[in-house]
Structure 1
Amino acid sequence: MLLGKKRKLGRKIEDINTGEKLQLTEKIEDKDLLLYLGLTNDSNPLYIQHDFASQTVFEKPVVPTIMLAGIISSAISKYLPGPGTYIKEQRLRFIKPVYHYATIEFLLEVTEVDVKANEVTVRVEATDDKGNLAVEGTILANPPQMVNQLTTQAMDNF
C-alpha cells in the first residue's frame, strides 16, 4: 500500500548542482499504451489502429506525446530532484513521432539552480533507437522544501 508508507524525500535545492545528469532508457510496451488509453479514455485511432495509421503520414500507430511527457515527469519525481518535487512548468517539443515498441533514451541535465526561488531548470532530450532526437525541452521544478519541521514530524504518525 503506497499511501501509508513514509518515503524518503528527494534532494533539497542546496544539494543540487548545475551539470548533474540522469540518463534512462524506456521501452514502450503494449501494456504501457493500454494503461494510458484506459486511464484517459483517449481513443485516438492514430494511437491504436494500424489500419487507420497506415493511411496517414505516420504509416503506423504512434505513442501519445503525453505518455512521453509522463515518463519525463516521472523521472523528475523519482530521481532528479526526486520525491516531493513539484513541476511548475514544462516546455517540450515533439520533433518526431515515437512508435510502438520503441526504445527511447532520455537525458535530463540540470542547467540552472536558483536557490533563492527554490527552482531548478532541467534540460530534456529523448532519442529513439536510431539516435534521432524525438523530444527536447525544459522542465522548471521546485525541489522538496519543508516549511515547518514541527508540523511535519507531528503528522508522521497521523
Structure 2
Amino acid sequence: MVILIGKKRKLGKAMGELQIGDTYRAIKKIEDKDLLLYLGLTDDANPLYIQHDYASQTPYKQPIVPSVMVFGMVSSIISMHLPGPGSHITQHEMIFPNPVLHDTEVTLTIEIIAIDEDNHKVAVSVIGFDKNGFDIVSGKLYVSPPSYPNTLTANSLDNFF
C-alpha cells in the first residue's frame, strides 16, 4: 500500500507479482442508465444505439451497445483488478463478433498470457460472452503494470484536499 496525496491507496500487482495464467472474471449487466451515461459523455447519438424504430429495420432488429463501451468494461477490469490500479493499456487488438443488446448480462474474462519484464509489459487475453453464450469480444491487450515509486505524496497539493 502507498500513500497518494495523504490518502492510503492500494496499487495493483507489480511485475514481480504477476504470473502467466493469472485471471479475473467479471459479470456485468448493461443497463439503460449505463448506456445513456456513456452516450451522453461521448456525445454519441448513433440511432443504432438508442432508437428502437431505426434499429428494428437493421440486421440487429433492436438497439445495441457500442463496442467501445464493451472495451471500456475491459479497460476497467485491467485498471481496477488485474494488474490493477496504476496500470496502463498500451496496445489492444480486439474483435466484437456479436452485438450486445440492451439490458444484457455479459461475462468478461482476462488472463495474463505473457510477461516481458525487460519492457515492463504483460500481454493479456480477453474473452467475453453474453447471457445466451454468444461471443461478444475476444482479443489481446498489452499492459504496463503499476510501478512502485519511492513516494507518492505531494505537499504542494495539500491545500486542495
TM > 0.5 between the two?
A: yes
Cα contact 2:87–2:146 (8 A) shared by 1: yes
List gaps (5 residues or longer) in structure 2. none
Name the SS for the 1:82 alignment partner.
coil
Structure 1: segments with no counterpart, 5+ residues? none
Distance 1:132 1:12 in 2: 34
Cα deviation for residue 154 of structure 1 reads 4.9
Alpha-carbon displacement from aligned partner over 1:57-88 (angstroms, at most 9, x marks no partner): 01000001110000000000000000000110
Q: Indicate the residue corresponding to 1:7 in structure 2.
A: 9
- Match among 123, 126, 129 for residue 127 of structure 1: 129
Cα gap change, 1:4 to 1:70, in 2 (>3 Å): farther
Cα distance between partner residues in 1 of 2:8 and 2:155: 8
Give the match's secondary structure for 1:46.
helix
What is the alpha-carbon distance in structure 1 between the residues aligned to residue 155 and residue 111 of structure 2? 33
Q: Secondary structure at the match of 1:14?
A: helix
Quote how far apart the aligned CAs of 1:103 are: 0.6
Offset of 1:127 from its aligned partner? 0.4
Deviations 1:73-113 (A, max 9, x none): 00000000000001101111000100001110101110001
Matching residue's letter, 1:115: E
Q: How does 1:1-158 map to 2 (within 5 A)?
A: 5-146=7-148, 148-149=149-150, 152-155=151-154, 158=157
CA RMSD between the two structures:
1.8
> Matched residues in 2 for 1:137 and 1:88: separation?
14
TM-score normalised according to structure 2 size: 0.90
Equivalenced residue count is: 154
Q: Which has more strand, going by share of residues?
A: 2
Question: What is the CA-CA distance between 1:131 and the residue it aligns to?
Answer: 1.1
- Aligned-residue sequence identity (percent) comes to 43
